[in-house]
Structure 1
Amino acid sequence: MTSFLSNIIGNPFATQIGQAIERASNVTESFENWALYMEICDMINNSDDGPRDAIKAFKKLIATNEGKNDIILNQTLTVLETCVKNCGHRFHVQIANRDFLQEIVKLLTTKVMPSQILVDRMLGLLQTWADAFQGVNGLEEVSKVNKELKEKGFEFPVVDVERAPPIHTPARKTNITVDPTTLQKPHHVSATAPSAAPQLTEDISLNNGFYISASQMAKLKSELDVVIQNCKVFNELLNENTPGQEADEDWKLMEELNATCKEFHRRLVELVRRYTIENLTSDILPVNDEVTNVMLRFERYERLKKGSSNTEAATSDESQNLVCLLSNYFVDIFIF
Structure 2
Amino acid sequence: MKRNSSSVSNQIQILVDRATNGSLGSSDATLSASIVQFAKSTDDAPKEVARALRKRLSAISSARDFRAADHCLDLLEACVQSCGPRFHAQLAGKRDLLDELVRLIGPKHSPPSELQDRVLQLLMFWSDTFSDRPELREVDRVIKELRSKGVQFPDPASTYESLQTYSNYSNQEANSAASAAATNSAATSAAAPVSPRPRLPQAQRPTSMTGRPQQQQQQRQQPPPQPVGQLTPHQLGKLKSDVDQVCTNCRIFNELLTEAANGTAQPEDLQLMRQLNSVNRKMQQRVMELLGQA
Cα shift at 1:113: 2.1
Contact 2:46 2:90 in 1 (8 A): yes
Structure 1 equivalent of residue 76 of structure 2: 80
Structure 2 equivalent of residue 132 of structure 1: 129
**1:77 counterpart SS class:** helix
Identify unmatched segments of 5+ residues in structure 2. 161-201, 223-270, 287-294
**2:110 counterpart SS class:** coil
Distance (whole Å) between structure 2 residues aligned to residue 12 and residue 128 of structure 1: 31
Cα shift at 1:67: 4.5
Distance (whole Å) between structure 1 residues aligned to residue 107 and residue 55 of structure 2: 16
Structure 1 equivalent of residue 170 of structure 2: none
1:20 has 2:19 as partner:
no
Distance (whole Å) between structure 2 residues aligned to residue 104 and residue 57 of structure 1: 13
Residues 137/6 of structure 1: CA separation in 2 closer, same or farther (3 Å cut): farther
Structure 2 equivalent of residue 157 of structure 1: 154
1:4 has 2:13 as partner:
no
Identify the match of residue 51 of structure 1 among 46, 51, 71: 46
Cα deviation digits, residues 89-136 of structure 1 (max 9, x gap): 000100011122112222233423211111111111111111111121
Residues 95/270 of structure 1: CA separation in 2 closer, same or farther (3 Å cut): closer
Cα deviation digits, residues 271-295 of structure 1 (max 9, x gap): 9748xxxxxxxxxxxxxxxxxxxxx
Residues 270/24 of structure 1: CA separation in 2 closer, same or farther (3 Å cut): closer
Residues 12/118 of structure 1: CA separation in 2 closer, same or farther (3 Å cut): farther
Residues 6/78 of structure 1: CA separation in 2 closer, same or farther (3 Å cut): farther
Structure 1 equivalent of residue 104 of structure 2: 107
Distance (whole Å) between structure 2 residues aligned to residue 144 and residue 12 of structure 1: 32
Distance (whole Å) between structure 1 residues aligned to residue 134 and residue 8 of structure 2: 27
Structure 1 equivalent of residue 91 of structure 2: 95
Residues 45/155 of structure 1: CA separation in 2 closer, same or farther (3 Å cut): same
Amino acid at match of 1:19: I
Distance (whole Å) between structure 1 residues aligned to residue 47 and residue 59 of structure 2: 18
Distance (whole Å) between structure 2 residues aligned to residue 50 and residue 122 of structure 1: 24
Amino acid at match of 2:72: T
Distance (whole Å) between structure 2 residues aligned to residue 109 and residue 22 of structure 1: 22
Cα deviation digits, residues 59-88 of structure 1 (max 9, x gap): 111112214221222211111111111111
Identify unmatched segments of 5+ residues in structure 1. 164-220, 229-264, 275-303, 318-336
Residues 310/90 of structure 1: CA separation in 2 closer, same or farther (3 Å cut): closer
Identify the match of residue 28 of structure 2 among 11, 30, 33: 33
* Aligned residues with identical type, % of pairs: 29
1:65 has 2:60 as partner:
yes
Distance (whole Å) between structure 2 residues aligned to residue 125 and residue 45 of structure 1: 22
Distance (whole Å) between structure 2 residues aligned to residue 94 and residue 84 of structure 1: 10
TM-score (norm 2): 0.52
Distance (whole Å) between structure 1 residues aligned to residue 34 and residue 153 of structure 2: 31
Greater alpha carbon shift after TM alignment, 31-40 vs 89-98: 31-40
Distance (whole Å) between structure 2 residues aligned to residue 100 and residue 134 of structure 1: 19
Residues 22/271 of structure 1: CA separation in 2 closer, same or farther (3 Å cut): closer
Contact 1:67 1:114 in 2 (8 A): no
Q: State the 4+ residue runs in structure 1 displaced beyond 6 angstroms.
A: none
Residues 19/62 of structure 1: CA separation in 2 closer, same or farther (3 Å cut): same
Residues 6/155 of structure 1: CA separation in 2 closer, same or farther (3 Å cut): farther
Amino acid at match of 2:136: L
Q: Which has the higher contact order (CA 8 A, sep 6+)?
A: 2
Amino acid at match of 2:108: K
Quick check: which has more Rg, 1 or 2? 1
Structure 2 equivalent of residue 252 of structure 1: none
**1:66 counterpart SS class:** helix
Amino acid at match of 1:14: N
Residues 272/37 of structure 1: CA separation in 2 closer, same or farther (3 Å cut): closer
Contact 1:43 1:50 in 2 (8 A): yes
TM-score (norm 1): 0.46
Residues 30/106 of structure 1: CA separation in 2 closer, same or farther (3 Å cut): closer
Residues 125/4 of structure 1: CA separation in 2 closer, same or farther (3 Å cut): same
Cα shift at 1:159: 3.1
Distance (whole Å) between structure 1 residues aligned to residue 10 and residue 130 of structure 2: 30
